[in-house]
Amino acid sequence: MLGAQEVEPPAVAVGEGVGAVVVGRLEVVDGVALVVLLGDVVEEPAALLDVLVDVLVDVGADEQAATVDTTAASVASLRMVVGRRRRLGLWRIIRPYLAPPRASWGRGCGATLRAPRRDNGGPATGHGTTRYVAAVTTEPTPVVLDVDTGVDDACALLLAALHPALDLRAVSCVGGNAPVDDVVRNTLTVLETAGRADVPVARGAERPLLEPPLHARHVHGEDGMGDLGWPAPSLAPDPRHAVELLRDVCREAAVAGRPVTLVPLAPLTNIALLLRTYPDVAAGISEIVFMGGAANVGNATASAEFNVFHDPEAAAVTLDAAADLGIRVTMYGLDVFYDPVISTEAAAELVAVGGRGPAELGGRLMDFQRERLGGQDATIGDAGAVCAVIDREALRTQVLPIRVELAGHWSRGRTIVDRRDWSGAIKHDPHGEAPVRVDVALGVDGGRYARLWADTLLGRVGQR
């Protein structure tokens, strides 16, 4: 996790009276600062410009020029809302040229946006890194999901399809919670409900690399998505195999200079095939944030999490390939999976929206899960990994060595996370330290992620 530190003024004024804008927060998300501004915009919102622009530190001529260009784009987009009196959420990504600062920012009405601290008069620093300079852009984070939809995969798809800070480029399907053909149908159903017919969906691996598939209808229902009787989709899948779709999207992202964040929420079969067959796609992947594994607990067995247990060889290949190719990996596992929960009352609010839309679908999925598993609350599950792409600050992670157990009779599929802190023990370990290191999620602000998910489905976080 990017740690928080206090930062010094100067604060940026944002205007008063008609057209005033209240600054919500600025969050650093894995090297990307995400400015979240909320307010009633009724006049020319010029007051926003200082907030969006004055985050620069020691800029050079080229960087100044880039900032002027992106600021002009921001001005144009802001002027489009003149004369419309409505609550508006504006997400502006501030992308670092070098290293990002680690900073916490004010929240709520009257909060101020502050520049990073300078140490000894030098450049702004954070995370022990060199100077950075930020340029403003209106472009959301490009993401690609790999799913086995799945009740909680459906929740994740709704969030990725609707949140304005994300640009959902494609979805690949793999057998897991349900057979792959059911997964494809369910995925198309969710995207059609969310109004995202533009997102290509492709069918991928129907079984693990070595073993026969083990589905989870006892958790997700006979159709894999809660047996809700939701209307069948009119959309058709992309004709490409899922691995080919992933290949093409990643290569296009590399050419465009906008690498995607790959978010696998399923057994890693498709991803293993992708990275080993087409290693050049690494240039188009900024990070992999996968739901799977755990440092401390299992669910498919006493020691293994379902996605990794379903195809442990694929998990091992994916982690090894990512390390070989220099792709950063974050593991959003069972240690945090169950923490973001939706109450009975919150689910009822979603269902009450009606209209067979995203909110109603999300609420009904929560109701199904609560009835199937018992309890008063239901977890958004896989959707938490998508929340982590949007709001990394709410996730506590640690970079740790990891292996996937492939041979154990009782422990096959376990992610062995090495949390030892004494070098003497590691030195005398006959296996040595694992060569693969990933960012392991160990704690999360569950309430914050649950609100993010529910507010997105209710349309409270801005408009696409």
pLDDT digits (tens, 9 = 90+) for 84-102: 322 233 333 333 323 233 2
What pLDDT sits at residue 217? 85
Interior CA angle at 36 toward 134 and 394, to 5°? 95
Tokens representing residue 464 in the block:
């696409």
Question: What's the start-to-end Cα distance of the chain, in Å?
Answer: 28
What pLDDT sits at residue 376? 87
CA-closest candidate to residue 124, choices 22, 7, 214: 7
Residue extents of the structural domains in the chain: 22-137, 141-394+441-457
Average pLDDT over residues 22-43: 39
pLDDT (tens digit, 9 = 90+) per residue, 264-313? 999 999 999 999 999 999 999 999 999 999 999 899 999 999 999 999 99
Interior CA angle at 413 toward 225 and 441, to 5°? 75
What pLDDT sits at residue 356? 93
Average pLDDT over residues 325-335: 96
Cis geometry, peptide bond prior to residue 10 (ω within 30 degrees of 0): yes
Tokens representing residue 420 in the block:
């030892």
Split at pLDDT 50, 70, 90, the class of 7 is very low
Name which of 87-101, 387-401, 405-419 the model is least confident about. Answer: 87-101
CATH superfamily of 141-394+441-457: Ribonucleoside hydrolase-like (3.90.245.10)
pLDDT (tens digit, 9 = 90+) per residue, 449-463? 999 999 999 999 854
Cα-Cα-Cα-Cα dihedral sign, residues 36, 439, 335, 300: positive
| Range from 68-72, 142-146, 228-232 that averages highest in pLDDT | 142-146
Name which of 128-137, 268-277, 377-386, 427-436 the model is least confident about. Answer: 128-137
